[in-house]
Amino acid sequence: MKMSKMGVRPEKTTPRDAEAINQKLLIQAGFIHQEMAGVYTFLPLGLRVLNKIENIVRKHMDKIGSELLMPSLSSKENWNTSGRLKTIDVLFKACAANEVSLAKSDAEYVLCPTHEDVVTPLVQGYNPSYKDFPISVYHIQTKFRNEPRVKSGLMRCREFRMKDLYSFHTDELDLKRYYDEVKKVYQEIFEEIGIGKDTVIALASGGDFTKDYSHEFQTRCENGEDTIYLNKTTGVAYNKEVKPEGADTSPNFEVFNAAEVGNIFPLGTKFSKAFGYEYTDKDGNKKPVITGSYGIGTSRLMGVLVEKFHDDKGIVWPKNVSPFGVHLIDLQQTDEAEKIYELLTKEGVDVLWDDREMSAGEKFADADLIGCPIRILVSSRSIQNGGIEVKLRNETESKIISIDRLMDFVKNV
Amino acid sequence: MKMSKMGVRPEKTTPRDAEAINQKLLIQAGFIHQEMAGVYTFLPLGLRVLNKIENIVRKHMDKIGSELLMPSLSSKENWNTSGRLKTIDVLFKACAANEVSLAKSDAEYVLCPTHEDVVTPLVQGYNPSYKDFPISVYHIQTKFRNEPRVKSGLMRCREFRMKDLYSFHTDELDLKRYYDEVKKVYQEIFEEIGIGKDTVIALASGGDFTKDYSHEFQTRCENGEDTIYLNKTTGVAYNKEVKPEGADTSPNFEVFNAAEVGNIFPLGTKFSKAFGYEYTDKDGNKKPVITGSYGIGTSRLMGVLVEKFHDDKGIVWPKNVSPFGVHLIDLQQTDEAEKIYELLTKEGVDVLWDDREMSAGEKFADADLIGCPIRILVSSRSIQNGGIEVKLRNETESKIISIDRLMDFVKNV
């Protein structure tokens, strides 16, 4: 993609009210635009990162669930049935905005903050028999939560993107089996995104959902909201809210800041009982369905990645979610840059080509800010040396390599 | 995909309150689930069609615009500035749903029914100079409209999917040039989706937007809401609302029912004036920016396709947007079906494999209802004949072909 065609560009100035590092850097580098507190536009660069994250999530989810797309508008009745119309403090509703509304009814809708209250009656309608189970469906969709505090950029928003998976089982044992499968798949996702070795599964409160523990995927992050207590002997991690007695003083526990990147809840019969979802077993008896719920906030994850991977010059994206594999800078305005752009594009490498009329210094600063893993520079120096100047985002020195070796170099980063 | 794993399935019974053919067939065949009047879940089959439509639209849009993703929540201030807070009768607002809300402020937001009022100040912030133009950005996103009547299935919803493109220019001439480019690209999109030859560009009222004509892409459709007057001599088409005098009785006009599948509006300075978006020309003078807006309702298009392409047995999808290329039916429960599934999948053909334990009659009826272009049947008859039974959705007779020739057959449909 040519930078001159993006329609928007790095802002460079720090937004006045921005507090979180991810918010500052993502706005400065032109990934997102703040519409209001907690509400963002994903600009072309940001949308590419979001899509890469969501496509990795989707690829792994397809192994264990069937993708659909539930709506954001939901009937108040569903949320009344579950009891959550009264208990979820961040619930938004949608209703007619003005007096000229043509709608006959004054219907009000819930704007879904999550979808247990939608997916349960949905699956219930299709699957009455034990033969139909287990069932697992997921979607990647926009959620709405009327959060009181939204000071942490993409890490907490009023409108955000989320992958939510729901599973339905005939018994607790099968839920447990599937639950462990999801744990494994989540670990594969975080591995591919580039935070595998930094991420632990921590026991946490089941909250409103369940009296059992829920499980949070927590990744080490200086500015994360959570504190994790890792038992170095057993390898079991605990969110601060459920930490064992004595963990604060025991040398056996490592304590670190972390950001939640995923969570899984064994819901049991909470929602199936509320909606009266019983299946018929092989003897003709009615039994309550056992359910689980599994989330990954995909836009939140983008914010967490920036908190984890940045330096004083800008973002340092993990390779698999970088908006582009290569950032191509052309200082010569010759045909050379176009040749390289076409060579790389033909080989399937996605290239951000800074073709703008700006100084070298400005272009270098933008490349550092945007944070693609490889910078390729077409300059008189490199052309005279019969090669191309390349620099990795996480190294300080550049080097000149011949065009013949360029593809090998790019593929091996 | 194995049908047994979809989690949901064809309902077969006609929904009680369904009136439109697309609504009945899409629900019966398991493509969508009606959550409330005008609000639908896209089930796995339906999401595949929606994705195929949106990916075709995206591929062509990328030639003429830069993709981003604007939010659904917008500040009331923007809509007050444009004046549309008072004039759009289908506007939804979002606000706290209950008394337990933790939000400090009682902020209310507009739930966007379209995005002129969001994109204009967004682009304005980045692009002050004549050097930045033309600019064109688009997104494919969920829209909300509090429609009073929602009796036509996916053709008119309260929550729906839409591609909207916005362009910004320094003068009317450049808008005209770009406008004509969009017309050409829209025609390519409708061609690829399978309605090219049935779709005309009709002059229509500019409505609230402009005193000029706007242009609607109208496709021939018995149950469409619009009536088109086509001047057979000049080739110019008119929406009934702007038809020339005498068109009703002149033999020179062909009159037909049609459904709108896209629209383009030359907005001129309507929004740039409201938001005070002026650019600085090369002599340092301030001039109002000229804008255009271009929509395709992607979920609506799915409904229109079903209205156009169905018979008394079910849907007949155009090849490029069919949920699957091949519907594989296995009556033998042998390894044969799996071999064919793997053979086709390896070659990049997407296959819906009906692996359920059901009668041949039920499977055939579901295949007709779902409407994939090719049905492949593994039966004792075909196995005895050393081949595979294939049937096209739009033909009545099946035939047996050898496995060696299967790939050629599938690719040439």
By C-alpha distance, the chain B residue nearest A141 is: B142
Q: Which of A47, A137, A158 sits opposite B7 (nearest CB)?
A: A137
The letter for the amino acid at B395 is E
Q: Do A44 and B100 touch (CB under 8 A)?
A: no
Instruction: Judge whether A129 is closer than 8 Å to chain B, CB to CB.
Output: no
**A250-301: per-residue pLDDT in tens?**
999 999 999 999 999 999 999 999 999 999 999 999 999 999 999 999 999 9
A366, exposed or middle or buried, with CB in 10 Å at 0-12, 13-18, 19+? buried
Strands A237-239 and A226-231: antiparallel
Q: Is the pLDDT of residue B404 over 80?
A: yes
Residue B361's contacts (CB-CB under 8 Å, 6 or more residues apart) are none
Give the integer Cα–Cα distance in Å for B64 and A341: 19
**B18-30: per-residue pLDDT in tens?**
889 999 999 999 9
**B176-199: per-residue pLDDT in tens?**
999 999 999 999 999 999 999 999
Portion 295-314 of B in contact with A at CB < 8 A: none
For residue A134, is the peptide bond before it cis, meaning its omega torsion is within 30 degrees of 0?
yes
Residue B32's contacts (CB-CB under 8 Å, 6 or more residues apart) are B26, B40, B41, B42, B43, B46, B154
Cβ contacts (< 8 Å) between A31 and chain B: which residues? none
At B10 the pLDDT is: 73
- Is there a contact between B22 and B317 (Cβ–Cβ < 8 Å)? no
Cβ contacts (< 8 Å) between B26 and chain A: which residues? none
Q: The tokens of A28 are what?
A: 């400065």
The letter for the amino acid at A43 is L
Give the integer Cα–Cα distance in Å for A306 and A32: 12
- CA–CA min distance A405, chain B (Å): 31
Give the integer Cα–Cα distance in Å for A376 and A326: 7
At B403 the pLDDT is: 86
Give the integer Cα–Cα distance in Å for B165 and B294: 5
Cβ contacts (< 8 Å) between A3 and chain B: which residues? none
> Which of A306, A319, A286 has the alpha carbon at shortest distance from A219?
A306
- CA–CA min distance B258, chain A (Å): 25
For the domain A3-311, what is the CATH code? 3.30.930.10
End-to-end CA distance of chain A: 21
φ/ψ (deg, to 5) at B33: -130, 130
Q: How far is CA B172 from CA B203, B209, B246, in A?
A: 19, 15, 32
Give the integer Cα–Cα distance in Å for A174 and B222: 50
Instruction: Judge whether A360 is closer than 8 Å to chain B, CB to CB.
Output: no
**B228-271: per-residue pLDDT in tens?**
999 999 999 999 999 999 999 999 999 999 999 999 999 999 99
At A171 the pLDDT is: 97
Please name the residue that has the structure tokens 């469906």.
A137
Instruction: Judge whether A11 is closer than 8 Å to chain B, CB to CB.
Output: yes
Give the integer Cα–Cα distance in Å for A148 and B51: 35
By C-alpha distance, the chain A residue nearest B94 is: A94
**A302-351: per-residue pLDDT in tens?**
999 999 999 999 999 999 999 999 999 988 777 888 889 999 999 999 99
Give the integer Cα–Cα distance in Å for B291 and A79: 42
Helix runs in A289-393, H state only: 298-308, 335-346, 360-370, 380-384
Cβ contacts (< 8 Å) between B158 and chain A: which residues? 73
Q: Which of A47, A111, A158 sits opposite B67 (nearest CB)?
A: A47
Give the integer Cα–Cα distance in Å for A173 and A206: 18
- CA–CA min distance B32, chain A (Å): 9
φ/ψ (deg, to 5) at A84: -85, -10
At B174 the pLDDT is: 98
Count the neighbouring beta carbons within 10 Å of the beta carbon of residue A14: 12
More confident residue, B211 or B76: B76
At A106 the pLDDT is: 67
- CA–CA min distance A298, chain B (Å): 14
At the fourth CATH level, which superfamily is domain B13-311?
Bira Bifunctional Protein; Domain 2 (3.30.930.10)
Q: Do B103 and A146 touch (CB under 8 A)?
A: yes
At B96 the pLDDT is: 87
Q: Is the pLDDT of residue A105 over 60?
A: no
Give mean pLDDT, residues A178-199: 98
φ/ψ (deg, to 5) at A409: -60, -50
Give mean pLDDT, residues B144-156: 94
Give A324-412's CATH code, choosing from 3.40.50.800, 3.30.2130.10, 3.40.50.300, 3.40.50.11740: 3.40.50.800
Q: Do A122 and B8 touch (CB under 8 A)?
A: yes
Instruction: Judge whether A123 is closer than 8 Å to chain B, CB to CB.
Output: yes
Q: Do A73 and B39 touch (CB under 8 A)?
A: yes
Q: What is the residue-averaged pLDDT of chain A?
A: 93
Give the integer Cα–Cα distance in Å for A174 and A263: 19
| Domain definitions of chain B by residue range | 13-311, 324-412
Q: What is the residue-averaged pLDDT of chain B?
A: 93
Give the integer Cα–Cα distance in Å for B160 and B38: 9
- List the Cα angle A391/A396/A400 in 5-degree steps: 35
By C-alpha distance, the chain A residue nearest B93 is: A97
Taking each helix axis from N to C end, the angle separating B172-193 and B44-61, rounded to the nearest 10 degrees, works out to 140
By C-alpha distance, the chain B residue nearest A98 is: B86
Cβ contacts (< 8 Å) between A147 and chain B: which residues? 102-103
- Is there a contact between A166 and A291 (Cβ–Cβ < 8 Å)? yes
Give the integer Cα–Cα distance in Å for A26 and A40: 11
Helices (H) and strands (E) in chain A, counts: 12, 23
Q: Is the pLDDT of residue B71 over 70?
A: yes
> Which of A197, A203, A165, A196 has the alpha carbon at shortest distance from A181?
A165
- pLDDT bucket at A385, cuts 50 / 70 / 90: confident
Instruction: Judge whether B410 is closer than 8 Å to chain A, CB to CB.
Output: no
At A12 the pLDDT is: 64
What is the three-class DSSP state of A175?
helix
Q: Is the pLDDT of residue A103 over 60?
A: no
At B291 the pLDDT is: 97
The letter for the amino acid at A160 is F
Q: The tokens of B409 are what?
A: 């057959």
Give mean pLDDT, residues A375-395: 86
End-to-end CA distance of chain B: 21
- pLDDT bucket at B121, cuts 50 / 70 / 90: very high
Q: Which of B86, B104, B118 sits opposite A35 (nearest CB)?
A: B118
Give the integer Cα–Cα distance in Å for B191 and A134: 41
The letter for the amino acid at A173 is L
Q: In terms of residues, how long is chain A? A: 413
Q: Is the pLDDT of residue B81 over 90?
A: yes
Portion 160-219 of A in contact with B at CB < 8 A: none
Give the integer Cα–Cα distance in Å for A128 and A116: 18
Q: Is the pLDDT of residue B206 over 90?
A: no
- CA–CA min distance B148, chain A (Å): 4
At A107 the pLDDT is: 80
More confident residue, A56 or B337: A56
DSSP state letter for A320: G
Rg (CA), chain B: 24
Global confidence as pTM = 0.96
By C-alpha distance, the chain B residue nearest A27 is: B126
